[in-house]
Amino acid sequence: MSQDLKETNELIQQRIEKIKNLKEKGVDPYPIRFFPDSDSASLIEMYSKTPTGPEKKFLLGGRLHSKRVMGKASFAHLKDKSGVIQLYATRDDLGEENYTLFKSLDLGDLIGIEGYLFQTQKGETTLHLTSVTLLAKCVRPLPVVKEKDGVIYDAFADVEQRYRMRYVDLVVNDQVRETFITRSRIVSEIRNFLTSEGFLEVETPMMQPIAGGAAARPFVTHHNTLDMQLFLRIAPELYLKRLIVGGLDRVFELNRNFRNEGISTKHNPEFTMMEAYMAYGDMGKMLELTEKLITTVAQKICGTLKIKYGNDLVDLSPPWRRVKYVDIIKEYSGIDFSQVKTLEEAKEKASSVKVDASKCTSIWKVADEVFSEKAEPNLIQPVFVTDYPKELSPLAKSNPENPGYVERFEPYIVGREIGNAFSELNDPFDQKERFEDQVKQREAGDDEAFMMDEDYIRALEYGMPPTGGLGIGIDRLVMLLTNSQSIRDTILFPLMRPE
């Protein structure tokens, strides 16, 4: 057993003994209720403008952040949701029993306090305590910055441990807590924006008999009563477009999706998307909507459209650059895939720029490998990549002037795809042919190819107006607007292997 672990175990036992002692004295270390009426930041701000005296008392709840006992008087700090405030406790004001309880408190203990404000000689706003209540004992010591062998280190710096014990991460890391508060604000602003644009928020099934709406491997589950296989949704797209058929002309959903695929700094198996569909819209309308949505949210959250991300300064000011898929690949690799005639030729050209496309089964899948490795990492400033090949876009409307391509775009910022949008395919006969082609690819071993969805074809046969669709990855957008380098930093509880 390491010395650190031995010390931790000893501290835990000491705190458990304190709980036993309190119970023997008839004190409940986990009382049923306490109602704060203030928080530290508002008290400090209020007192700076309108000082109050002993006649005005306040109730606060939070964690004991520091403590310095000096005989009959002690100083401490309380940390709550808004910040930190200094506390002053004396035996004369608290009484012998309550002061003894105060002195026995450990860092991290949740406490409820009552007191009045005053200012110390050093000018610090302080709460003079008149009562203290232990609300919940912090049995396990919180990680702190320590000094060992002359080196200062963070006892909770291990990233995997922080993700696994997010509840501790939120307690000790203010920046982490701010990131998730900002995430909540971002989601709220997206809702406000879409509602103001006339979109109706809806909910669609998360368990589906057919995994559709995206090229991804699904998670499989089973419904016992119905004795049927179900899939956790990989996208809500096909259900949302059924609603367009039904006459709900503008709909959106902030949805959880599940894809049984790799984990990286850009991917988590469970993630959040926003998908919106606009009847009588197209790729162009969705492009305008995307640009307006992201810039509006960024301005409200960051206060500027020029934001820092890592070592880059990203300028979100519209209009964003627009470039065709084949052109951006040619720009960064020198390969013009519109002129490539055979799969072997495509693989040779990919190999010439050191991209391994040996497992690819078509020219455009080779192109996508080259795009991912050569172009995507360089797309730092916002850009709309447009006009994707039809083969890679089984739900998008073909370009009337060039049927081998579709009306589709993806916005890229800081080397990452932020979203996906297109003019939706509403021809049931064309859609069925594309599904059939996807089924062939699936039978050939591509387990990310689309499944046949006969009911969706039936819905289209009732008629869907020309429609524009958009999906935006919320986690990646949060990464951008909070300067987070990993998607796990924007997800409260990312998927982890068991300990």
Name the nearest CA neighbour of 386 among 413, 415, 421: 421
pLDDT at 448: 79
Mean pLDDT calculated for residue range 98-109? 95
**Per residue in 8-51, pLDDT tens?**
789 999 999 999 999 999 999 999 999 999 999 999 999 999 99
H/E element, 101:
helix 96-104
For 3-142, CATH number out of 2.40.50.140, 2.60.15.10, 3.50.50.60, 3.40.50.300 equals 2.40.50.140
CA atoms of 473 and 256, how far apart (whole Å):
10
pLDDT at 150: 66
**Per residue in 58-87, pLDDT tens?**
999 999 999 999 889 999 999 999 999 999
Name the nearest CA neighbour of 135 among 21, 1, 30, 2: 30
pLDDT at 341: 95
pLDDT at 151: 65
CA angle (425 as vertex; 419, 430 as ends), nearest 5: 140
Mention every residue, 6+ apart, whose C-beta is less than 8 A from residue 191. Answer: 201, 254
CA angle (273 as vertex; 270, 274 as ends), nearest 5: 160
In sequence order, the β-bridge partners of residue 274 are 254, 472
**Residue 2 in this model has a pLDDT that exceeds 80:** no
pLDDT at 462: 98
What CATH superfamily is the domain 175-320+381-489?
Bira Bifunctional Protein; Domain 2 (3.30.930.10)
Q: Delimit the domains of the chain by residue range.
A: 3-142, 175-320+381-489
237 annotated to bind ligand: no
> Measured between alpha carbons, how far is residue 275 from residues 86, 155, 179, 288, 488 in Å?
47, 41, 23, 15, 21
Q: Where are the beta strands (DSSP E) in 10-121?
A: 58-70, 73-80, 83-90, 110-119
- 257's tokens: 């999706």
**Residue 360 in this model has a pLDDT that exceeds 90:** yes
Mean pLDDT calculated for residue range 212-219? 88
Predicted confidence band at 443 (pLDDT cuts at 50, 70, 90)?
confident
**Residue 287 in this model has a pLDDT that exceeds 70:** yes
Neighbours of 116 (CB within 10 A): 17
Query: Is 175-320+381-489 the same fold as 3-142?
Result: no
**Residue 283 in this model has a pLDDT that exceeds 90:** yes
Q: How many CA atoms lie within 13 A of 55 on its CB side?
A: 2
Chain center to CA of 454: 34
**Residue 1 in this model has a pLDDT that exceeds 60:** no
pLDDT at 241: 97
pLDDT at 441: 87
**Per residue in 457-494, pLDDT tens?**
999 999 999 999 999 999 999 999 999 999 999 999 99
**Per residue in 144-202, pLDDT tens?**
766 666 666 666 778 888 999 999 999 999 999 999 999 999 999 999 999 999 999 99
- For the chain, what is the mean pLDDT? 94
Percent of the chain topping pLDDT 90: 84
pLDDT at 493: 94
**Per residue in 376-386, pLDDT tens?**
999 999 999 99
CA angle (340 as vertex; 339, 343 as ends), nearest 5: 165
261 annotated to bind ligand: no
Pairing state of beta strands 250-258 and 200-201?
parallel
**Residue 308 in this model has a pLDDT that exceeds 80:** yes
CA atoms of 351 and 358, how far apart (whole Å):
9
Does residue 118 come out as left (phi exceeding 0), alpha (psi in the -120 to 50 range) or beta?
beta
pLDDT at 143: 87
pLDDT at 237: 95
pLDDT at 444: 84
CA atoms of 119 and 138, how far apart (whole Å):
30
Residue 62, amino acid: G
Predicted confidence band at 250 (pLDDT cuts at 50, 70, 90)?
very high
Specify whether the CB–CB gap between 323 and 386 falls below 8 A: yes
pLDDT at 449: 81
